[in-house]
Every structure is written in C-alpha cells, then in structure tokens.
Structure 1
Amino acid sequence: MAPEERCAALHGKYELGRLLGHGTFAKVYHARNVQNGKNVAIKVVGKEKVIKVGMMEQIKREISIMKMVKNMNIVELHEVMASKTKIYFAMEYVKGGELFAKIAKGRLREDVARGYFQQLISAIDFCHSRGVYHRDLKPENLLLDDAGNLKVTDFGLSAFTDHLRQDGLLHTTCGTPAYVAPEVIGKKGYDGSKADIWSCGVILYVLLAGFLPFQDENIMAMYKKIYRGDFKCPPWFSSESRKLIMKMLEPNPNSRITASKIMDSSWFKKSVPKTLRHREEEEEFGLASEKVKEVETMNAFHIISLSEGFDLSPLFEEKKRDEKDQMRFATTRSASSVISKLEEVAKTRNFSVKKSDSSVRLQGQEIGRKGKLGIAADIFAITNSFVVVEVNKASGDTLEYNQFCSKELRPALKDIVWTTTK
C-alpha cells in the first residue's frame, strides 16, 4: 500500500495489514483497531475513479444503506472516513471467508444448507422491512464468521424504496446473470423484494445441488431458461425442499412465494436456531424496535461531522440540500434544557408532545399537503456538558417541515446552539 493511503486510512485509529481482496474500484485490507485491539476490514475506495465513471451516488447509497441495516446476519459498517483522494469503510471483519468456497468443494448436507438459508432469509426479510433491496445476492456475497454464522455483504448494487418510479417498481438491470430474476432481465420494471427472493431460490438450489439451476455456455440461451423457469431438481432433493425451490423460482413474480411464507414453510421451520426464534419473538411483541432508549453516546467521527469544514454528509445523503428532512446541532446545555426548549416551540404551534429522557416527539394537529406534520428529536450525550441533537421529519410534507425548521425551530433554538469562532 502507498504511504499516503496507509496514513490516510489510519486516522490514528486503525493499523492496516494484509490485502484481503480487491475489485475495480476498491481494495479491502485487514486492519486492527489500535484503541481496542479488535480486527476490522477496511475497504478503500479511490474518489477519482468513482467520480470518473459516475459512481459516487452508488457509493453514497451503499453507505446510507449499511447504516440502516444493522442485523446479526449482515456485515456491519462501523464508520466511514475520508481524505482528499480516498473513502474508507471500516467494517466488521468476517474471518471465515465466502460461502462460495464451501460450495466449490461440493454440495452441502440438507441440514447444513437449511441453517445457512435460514440466516439468509432472516437477513433479507430484515432488509425488505426497511425498504432495502440487495439486488446482487450470490454465494460470493455471503460470508461466514469463525463460528459459521452467515453474513450478507456488498450492498453496492442495492436500492431504497425511494428509488421506485411512479409505477412502484425498480428499473435498473443489475446483478449476476445466473442469479438474476427473469423480470429484471425483461427491463419492464420489477419489485426488488421479489427479485431478491428469486436469487435466494437460486442460492438454495446451489447449496443443495452443488451446481446452478440455469446453465448454458450461451448467455442468451441461459436467459431463455431463466424466463421459462426451465430447471430440474436432482433426485437427492427432499420433496419439501423441492416444493420450496419451485415456489421461489417461479418466473411470474406475482405468483412467487414471499419471505414470510418461506419462513412459515415446514422445511424452513425445521431446527430454527434459537437466535432466529428469539428475534422473531421480539419483533412479534414490538420489543426489537421499541426498547427503552437511554441517552446515547456518539463517537468523535460524529462530532467532527458537525463542523462545516469536516462535513461528510454528502457521503450519507441522497437528497439535495434544499430537500433535507434532518437537522443536527450541538449544545452545551443539558438534555432537559433542550427538551424544555422544544416544548416551548410546540406550544406556539399547538403541537402535542411526547417525551423521554433522550427524545421528544412533536405532532402537529393541522392537516397539511401530506397529512399532519410530525417532528422527532433525539438527544445524544457526548459528555456531561456537551449534547448533540438530531431533528428529523417523522411524518408530513418535507417542504412544510423545512419551512417550520427555518422560520420557527432554528430561531427558537438560536441561543442554545453551540458555535465555534473561525
């Protein structure tokens, strides 16, 4: 690695090691966090290259998505750093390598394949519940940790619900040919969740068979097989697994099985790991998303990003600056002082208020262009005397939210917002 690259990547925090892999636009290195000794993977992306080919929006999207999808079966993004020439992803280090390496040695036993498949569907269903579609699912993008747990990686081709066109469908043709759904090839628009389910069906077939369901040296001939759903299951497939794969590799996306139906199938339910069962129970009773929230802490990266001179927000935002639905500021006042200030603002507009020690929810009573305006403010304690507040639009129209922030909220908070002399 070049000295400039090594110095920039460290930022006083990471000690870079051997090269783990590389692609057209990125290199991935093993690294060690010098503060806690933990292993991480550092993905290094050259800005010049991605800008030259118009991929900066894709990089921003990948960062945004990885910040959204925190799940035990998805590779975690710890933080993002940037220099003038590079972008650095500090990610969870997954020691066991690609699932593809296991398949390359031959097909897996049905119980082993089911274990990996259960974790895959759990991760993908989690993504879909947050409006994220992977769009490039294949064994090469499924990693295994040293305990044998599956981790989905490489969200570079992923899409948000926000990327749907007016017809409610995605229209970008992407993915790996042998794993791509027929409707994606058709270029008439597709549902991202249904296309991901098709890819999961191909992966399950490969796990159990040791080879692909759709194969041909001529790619157009292979596409024709995919269009028709022209494949055969080997005789060693159990009847239950065969039925499930047939439902997943259904060429008509409207008739294709859903993730919830897959998880409800008898084949899937056999020996569901305790970790998955526990998470399903939490979600059923609302525990996973509604846990009591204490005043949280933020790292130095977040503090630096508050300074205009170190503003890395373009790496995380898809929207233009005049379309923001988030505002962040710092203050040396206490969390209770911030809450009191927000309550004062709410009274002037007759907003209802719900509050805890670390959050305030303001709900408007008037119906605007897109319903009632809702504001969410989350308070993060950096130290006892330094607090960061994130204000987001929870509901309603973005333009009305921005007008409220600029004309009422910002002026009302002016005397408590932390500023530095430049």
Structure 2
Amino acid sequence: MSVPKVKRQVGKYELGHSIGEGRFAKVRLARNLETEEQVAIKIISKEKVLKHKLVEQIKREIATMKLIKHPNVIRLHEVMGSKSKIFIVLEYATGGELLNNIIDHGRMGEAEARRYFHQLINAIDFCHSRGVYHRDLKLDNLLLDASGNLKLSDFGFSTLSQKVRDDGLLHTACGTPNYVAPEVLNDRGYDGAPADLWSCGVILFVLLAGYLPFDDHNIRNLYKKIAMANFTFPSWFSFGAKTLLMRILNPNPKTRITISEILEDEWFRKGDEPSVLDGNYETNLNEVHSAFKISQDHHETGNEEQPAALNAFELIGLSKGLNLESLFTIEQALKRETRFTSTCSANEIVRKIEDAAKPLGYDIHKKNYKMMLRNVKAGRKGNLNVSTEVFQVAPSLHMVEVRKDKGDTLEFQKFYKTLSASLKDVIWMSEED
C-alpha cells in the first residue's frame, strides 16, 4: 500500500507544488489554513544568500514590497524566517505573466493595451511617490490576477530614493538590456524616474506591436540602437500611440515625458480608469530584520515559540558607541522608539503590557512575542499605532522594544510615560537606580 504523502506546513500555510525556481529561491503555491486563500511563498536559502552576499538585496526587496501597497502591485502578506530559510508570503496572481498573453495571442488592440498601460503607469506613479524606483520593468515582471488586472512584481533590483549618491543620481546599471534606458548604459549616473518610464514605453510598444522595439543578437549593436532610439513603428500604430511613444522613448532623460504629462496625454486619457487605492499605509519593517535573525527552526518544526535572542554584537548595535548603559535605563531620549529591560518572563511581560494598554483604549494584536497596539480613537495625525517586541538578552533578562509605527510622536511619548508608570513592577532597575 502506498503511504499518503504528508503535506509540509510553514506557519499557518500548507505548501503545495512548485510554481517557479531560480538560483537562490523556489516559489511554491500554498494555502492559508485560516482563510483558505491561495498564496505564493518564495523560499530563499539563507546559506546561498550569505554565500553570494545578497542579504541587503533580499532585505531591500522585502522592505520595498512592504512599503508599496497598491491594487496593481503584488501584495506582500508577511515574512517568516527559520534557521535555514526565509519565507516571503506573497499574493498569488492566478493569471500568470502578461508576456504569455503576447506569446499565445500576439499583439493587442489599442484599447486592451491602453488598459494595461493605465494600470502600469498608476502603479509606477505610486512607487515613485514613495521614493521607490523599480529598475527592472519588463513584461516578465507583469502578472495578472483572476480578473485580468495587472500586478507589478519582482522588486529585486529596486532602490529607494535614500540610496542615491551626493549628485542625486543612481549609479548601478541593472535591468534587462532590451528594456533599459540609454542613460543607464552610459555609466554616468541616472535618475530612476525617467529610466523607469523608458521601460514602460518599451512595454507599451511590445503590447501594441507584439515584438521589441530594440533587438539585436549583437549586444554592442543593441546598445547603439537604444542610445540613438533607433526603432520603427509598424503600419497599424495610430497617430496618438506613435506620438506618445516618441515622447517616452526619447533618449534624452531631461526632455523625456514625465508621468504627470502622460496622465494628460490625449491617447492615454481615452477610456481613463483611475486607480482606486485601499487606504493610506505606513509600514513596519520589524519582520524584515527578524526574519534574518531567527535562530530556531520553529516555523517548520512547530516547536514552541521563543523570544528572538540578541547577541553581544546586536546589543552594541542598538547602543551609542560601545556604551550599553542607555539600553538598561528608562531615562533615555524618547522619540520614535525606546527600550526597557525586565527580569520577568517573556509571557508575563506580554501579559502586563496587554493589561496596561487595554484600559487606555488600544486594540491589541499579538503574534508570539510581538504586539501591535492601535488606539481606537484618532489623534492629531490619525490613530496612534505602537509595536512592541520582547528580546531575550540572557536566560533571566529580557529587553523590550517599544516603537511608534504611525501617528503623532508627542502622543507616543505621552502613551509611553503612562505605560511605563503601569509597568513599575516589570521594568528592571539596578540597585543604584
């Protein structure tokens, strides 16, 4: 008799078959056991990431996707970590790649191509407004959901505006050659926004033509064509489509059309479909860091959760210089975050914080030794959201980090003073204190 195969589980997700594989990661279909929702889980080998020095790139991809929440961008649900792997839980786009549409059915009519181009520009406009540049826009990275709506994916090459050099430009040449803007190839620095728009123009051309505007077996000849914007339009392109594409595929980034100008373009505005956003988001990047720090393989084995452990180097990293004293006193400068230590058990600390926060009007969501506290009453800058996490410093000593995720900083300071007053029997003080 054949023995039934035991399905593997990661957290609350039951893993299914593989739907993709790369050099450092596999993507598997999975099912949320609580909601029955299908998701895609990207499983990354920590060993390979460390060996090839890709930690910062993976962190950047995760952080970027947590920052960008838009109906035309693949949603990142959560990040988990084990001793050997990183699990990135993503929205599953059941419609596959937009590229396959072109391969299977050929070029699109203008109305259909315009619809996808609308959604692409809306997504890129939102990314740029958050200081994020994709830098690898191509048909392979455009997916479709069950309703046929476009979903932008793969932020592995993306960068935040904080990463630009002193000259205000990006300097890393990346992306797929046929879609890359001329200024990216000349190695003199480039602005991420017009470079992304060039790639959007190439995508629109392919949707309408069924083939690439710049293509050559010889890479040097390909670069020459891109640098000179050497391409020709098929006979079936309308005058409006040609006019817009000429302004997008302009080899001079300084005179290239901008997103605001595209939104006013006559061809683009036909059948205009404004994007509907699902709200104003702020992101909490704690998961990004903790996924790389978790030391026990609890997500795969089902062992009882433990607080994340902090080693000496991580403690020093949290302090100013080599002085750890500021970590073990509550009389520190209180801005967006603060910490205190306790000799109580981790479970007792979580329970005491919950007991102290509820009477103050906070909704509480717990996940292991992390808590999200949300004030049900809106303040000066909306609802105050506060996150807490318990770390183990030693077997009988824990450190608690309290961070403002959203809302007014002054309200956070007031909240923390009230909270700490309620936790007098939890906060550890030395004999001198």
Check the 8 A contact 1:136/1:157 in 2, yes or no. yes
Query: Which amino acid in 2 is paired with 1:28?
Result: V
Q: Is 1:414 the counterpart of 2:427 in the alignment?
A: no
Counterpart in the other structure of 2:102: 103
Return the alpha-carbon distance in structure 1 between the equivalents of residues 427 and 155 of structure 2: 37
Give the total of aligned pairs.
Answer: 350
Selected match of 2:404 from 376, 391, 394: 391
Return the alpha-carbon distance in structure 2 between the equivalents of residues 204 and 183 of structure 1: 20
Q: Is 1:40 the counterpart of 2:39 in the alignment?
A: yes
Return the alpha-carbon distance in structure 2 between the equivalents of residues 312 and 261 of structure 1: 51
Distance 1:215 1:206, change over 3 A: same
Which deviations, in whole Å up to 9, do the C-alpha atoms of 1:265-288 show, x marking residues without a partner? 111111123xx2655xx9xxxxx5
Return the alpha-carbon distance in structure 2 between the equivalents of residues 312 and 17 of structure 1: 31
Counterpart in the other structure of 1:67: 66
TM-score w.r.t. length of structure 2: 0.71
Query: Which amino acid in 2 is paired with 1:115?
Result: R
Deviation at 1:103, TM superposition (A): 1.2
Which deviations, in whole Å up to 9, do the C-alpha atoms of 1:140-196 show, x marking residues without a partner? 000011211000000111000110111111111110000011111111111111110
Sequence identity (%): 46
Distance 1:379 1:360, change over 3 A: farther
Deviation at 1:46, TM superposition (A): 0.4
Q: Is 1:54 the counterpart of 2:60 in the alignment?
A: no
Which deviations, in whole Å up to 9, do the C-alpha atoms of 1:338-359 show, x marking residues without a partner? 89xxxxxxxxxxxxxxx97456
TM-score w.r.t. length of structure 1: 0.73
Give 1:100-179 correspondences, 5 Å limit.
Answer: 100-105=99-104, 106-179=106-179
Counterpart in the other structure of 2:366: none
Return the alpha-carbon distance in structure 2 between the equivalents of residues 271 and 327 of structure 1: 47
Check the 8 A contact 1:198/1:249 in 2, yes or no. yes
Deviation at 1:91, TM superposition (A): 0.7
Give 1:262-301 correspondences, 5 Å limit.
Answer: 262-273=262-273, 276=274, 288-289=279-280
Alignment RMSD (CA, Å): 3.9
Distance 1:205 1:334, change over 3 A: same
Check the 8 A contact 1:78/1:90 in 2, yes or no. yes
Distance 1:81 1:380, change over 3 A: closer
Counterpart in the other structure of 1:378: 385
Task: Please state whether the residue corresponding to 1:111 is helix, strand or coil.
Answer: helix
Return the alpha-carbon distance in structure 2 between the equivalents of residues 14 and 392 of structure 1: 27
Return the alpha-carbon distance in structure 2 between the equivalents of residues 165 and 260 of structure 1: 25
Task: Mark the runs of 5 or more structure 2 residues left unpaired by the alignment.
Answer: 1-6, 296-305, 311-316, 321-333, 340-349, 363-373, 389-400, 429-433
Query: Which amino acid in 1 is paired with 2:337?
Result: M
Counterpart in the other structure of 1:337: 360
Deviation at 1:390, TM superposition (A): 3.6
Taking CA–CA contacts closer than 8 Å with sequence separation of 6 or more, which of the two structures ends up with the larger relative contact order?
Answer: 2
Check the 8 A contact 1:327/1:392 in 2, yes or no. no
Which deviations, in whole Å up to 9, do the C-alpha atoms of 1:66-123 show, x marking residues without a partner? 1110110000000001101000011111101000001113111111111111100000
Check the 8 A contact 2:74/2:152 in 1, yes or no. yes
Task: Please state whether the residue corresponding to 2:96 is helix, strand or coil.
Answer: coil
Counterpart in the other structure of 2:92: 93
Check the 8 A contact 1:25/1:49 in 2, yes or no. yes
Check the 8 A contact 2:12/2:32 in 1, yes or no. yes
Counterpart in the other structure of 2:337: 327
